[in-house]
Chains A and B, each alone.
Chain A
Amino acid sequence: MGRAPDAWGVASPLEDVSGEVAVVGVGESEHTRASGRRAVDIAATAVEAALADAGLEPADVDGLLFSGGLPEQLDAAAFHAHFGTRHEIWECPRGGGMNLAATAPLEAARALREGRASALVNAFAVAWASQRAAMTGGPGQFHAQEHYKRNLEVPFGWFPQPVYFATIARRHMYEYGTSPEALGEIAVACRAHANRHPGAVMYGRELTLEQYLERPMLCDPLRTEDCCLISDGGGAFVMTSRERARDLRHPLVTAIGMGEARARTGTYWAQQPDFTATPQAFSAPPAFAMAGIAPVDVDVLTLYDPFTIAALMQIEDMGFCEKGEADAFIRAGSLRVDGGCLPYNPHGGMLSHAYVLGIAHVVETVRQLRGEAHAQVPGARVGVYGGYAGHMASTLVLARS
């Protein structure tokens, strides 16, 4: 909104679908370290839980969204194989996790408008912990295979993701005076929240700021605690029209704003003109405009958080504080469920809950708005999920009516 056309990022023009889609069921699989499970089976388990939560049957599902770009996701064939159904299901491969977890309600709204489906499930799962243990895949694989990265970055040791984000973090520190304590507070807040969530992978493992600062550097200035987990796990949510949702069992939670943006330099972070920013700068403003809210109206925030610095930059880029002022904002305790002005990743995020690429963030946001979360933000009415896939960012505003 209002950005020059030659800016380094560009927002997708989205039609206004505010309030048309309700999220009526949420579910998760068990999130674990390497488990030997397959992603598609994990996703099916999460869908079972989400349908039970919604009070719907597998035969009621006539729309399915998944991440078509990733292997072993739950498409219609896999859905039927798991549930023993055979009815017609509309499929959309532009769903699932990461940035697409935020825009799945937009795709659902389009399908509802066009009459393609009436009850839609968005599901996502990964088995990267098992795959990494077996050396068959994982988050670095895409980058290792891309020609420019392979030929201009990898030979110089500038690989994989922790190295990219450590370089970004040091530059952010240089430009804005951001401190290790601010990054540490993000990790510590997430851990404190995860310690109230029995389903979190890091449940029961305390982390204080003092402990964080004493931890060795993984790639300076990032420590292990600045980096997301690698997990097997997944989640799902069920969507339908606002009208139909009123007949279902839960308080009405609707998608009131969505945004999506990309960096013109794609996944070549090295070349992004504003090196210490994310495309949230282009995604969040139109999402908030569609929702008719301002950042100050947000009661609970979940952010796709592969690294502490990725969360810190998104907090700035979405307008929760001025650019370059996240250090003071975060160190003031703003992100804490207990007493913070911007309760953040109350399930523990990808740092301490599970690395299931954002799908659990949306599930948590919905539970917060229903008032049934483990680390509950009292009276939360407006929740935001920020999706981030490096070159892409997306924003989903959910509200309890």
Chain B
Amino acid sequence: MQGFPFPELDWEGTRPFWKGAARGELVIPRCRACSAFVWYPRERCRACRSANLAWTRVSGRAALFSYTVVHDVFVKPFAELVPYATGLVVLAEDPAVRLATLLVDCDPAALRIGQPLRAVFRPLPFSGPEVLAPLFTPA
């Protein structure tokens, strides 16, 4: 298992998320009883307490909720990324679901909150194994 800042691909709480990403799919847990998305993942639906959840593929369409352009190296593995844009996006299916992501193939200075984005599946940009991840780019 690769270390920080790579994800723990086998950790049960987020294993389907990363397996989906490896297939090029964005999957989010959703309640079969009330249709609410359950994010971050939990064993039970926050809305209705049902344990009947299923990881569900979503479109990958999203909007930019907020972001920052990181210019300084806080953590050594991020050194090769700097400067980079990271932030939160909200899903087209439910704006209450916020994903942290890297914003790629864009001019960081041209980013604006609310702009439409789409998911692209790229290897995480750190030295080490190839781990496909849902990153976001202007739609």
- Bound together, the chains give a CA A157 to CA B127 distance in angstroms of 14
Q: Are A220 and B40 in contact (CB under 8 A)?
A: no
Do A148 and B14 have beta carbons less than 8 Å apart?
A: yes
Give the residues in chain A near B20, CB-CB below 8 Å.
Answer: none
B133 contacts A156, CB within 8 Å?
A: yes
Nearest-neighbour CB distance to chain B for A150, whole angstroms, equals 6
Annotate B13-57 by CB proximity to A: 1 below 8 A, 0 otherwise: 110011000000000000000000001110000000000000000
Once A and B bind, how many residue pairs between them come within 8 Å at the CB atom? 111
B88 vs chain A, min Cβ distance (A): 6
B108 to chain A, nearest CB (A): 8
Q: B121 contacts the other chain (Cβ, under 8 Å)? A: no
Interface string of B90-133 (1 = CB under 8 A from A): 00000010111110000000000100000000001000000101
Asked whether A168 lies within 8 Å of B69 as measured between CB atoms, the reply is: no
Verify A159–B72 contact, CB threshold 8 A.
Answer: no
Give the docked Cα–Cα distance between A156 and B84 (Å): 10
Asked whether B6 lies within 8 Å of A271 as measured between CB atoms, the reply is no
Q: Which residue of A151, A168, A221, A275 is within 8 Å of B13 (Cβ)?
A: A151
Interface of A is mostly: helix
Cα A147 to Cα B13 in complex, Å, equals 8
> Are A157 and B6 touching (Cβ within 8 A)?
no
CB-CB nearest in chain A for B131: A155
CA A157 – CA B133 in complex, angstroms? 12
B residues contacting the other copy or chain, number (CB 8 A)? 40
Q: Does A158 contact B (CB under 8 A)?
A: yes
Contact B75 A160 (CB under 8 A): yes
**Cα A179 to Cα B23 with chains together (Å):** 43
Verify if B59 is at the interface (C-beta below 8 Å from A). no
A-to-B contact residues, CB < 8 Å: 140, 144, 147-148, 150-160, 162-163, 166-168, 170-171, 174, 216-222, 268, 270-271, 273, 275
The residues of B that contact A150 with a CB separation of less than 8 Å are 4, 7-8
B136 CB, min distance to chain A CBs, angstroms: 9
- Kindly provide the distance from the CB of A287 to the nearest chain B CB, expressed in whole angstroms: 29
8 more contacts with CB within 8 A, not counting A147-B8, A151-B14, A270-B98, are A153-B100, A154-B5, A155-B131, A156-B101, A163-B68, A166-B68, A167-B86, A170-B66
A170 to chain B, nearest CB (A): 5
| Smallest beta-carbon distance B62→chain A, Å | 13
- Are the CB atoms of B88 and A217 closer together than 8 Å? no
Question: Among the interface residues B68, B101, B102, B133, which one has the most CB atoms of the partner chain A within 10 A?
Answer: B68
CB <8 Å contact, A216 and B68: no
**Across-interface contacts of A154 in B (CB, < 8 A):** 4-5, 7
Q: Is B70 an interface residue (CB 8 A)?
A: yes
Q: Are B102 and A273 neighbours in the complex by a CB distance under 8 Å?
A: no
Residue pair B86, A156 in contact (C-beta under 8 Å):
yes
Contact partners of A167 in chain B: CB under 8 A:
66-68, 86-88
Instruction: Give A155 to B2 CA distance when docked, in angstroms.
Output: 12
Chain B contacts for A153, CB-based, 8 A: 100
Beta-carbon nearest neighbor of A160 in chain B = B74
Cα A154 to Cα B2 in complex, Å, equals 13
Cβ B7 vs Cβ A163 within 8 A: no
A271 proximity list for chain B (CB < 8 A): 39-40, 98
A residues in contact with B100, CB < 8 Å: 152-153, 156, 158, 270
Give A165's nearest chain B residue, CB to CB.
B68
A155 touches B68 (CB 8 A): no
Q: Are A157 and B84 in contact (CB under 8 A)?
A: yes
Q: Inside 8 A of B88's CB, which chain A residues have their CB?
A: 158, 167, 270
Specify which chain B residues have a CB less than 8 angstroms from the CB of A163 in the assembled complex.
68, 70, 74, 86
Q: Which residues of B contact A170 (CB under 8 A)?
A: 66-68, 87, 113
A216 to B113 Cα, complex, angstroms: 22
Q: Which of A157, A218, A268, A271 has the most CB of B within 10 A?
A: A157
A189-B11 Cα distance, complex, nearest whole Å: 46
Query: Shortest distance in angstroms between B130's beta carbon and chain A's nearest beta carbon?
Result: 13
Contact of A268 among B17, B40, B69, B99 (CB under 8 A): B40
In whole Å, how far is B41's beta carbon from the nearest beta carbon of chain A? 8
**Smallest beta-carbon distance A48→chain B, Å:** 36
A157 touches B72 (CB 8 A): no
A158 touches B86 (CB 8 A): yes
Q: Which of A152, A155, A216 has the most CB of B within 10 A?
A: A155
Given A150-B4, A154-B5, A219-B70: A159 in contact with B75 (beta carbons within 8 A): yes
**Most A CB within 10 A of own CB, among B17, B75, B88:** B88
Tell me the bound Cα distance from A218 to B83 in angstroms: 10
Chain A, residue nearest B100 (CB) = A158
* Interchain nearest-CB distance for A28 vs B (Å): 28
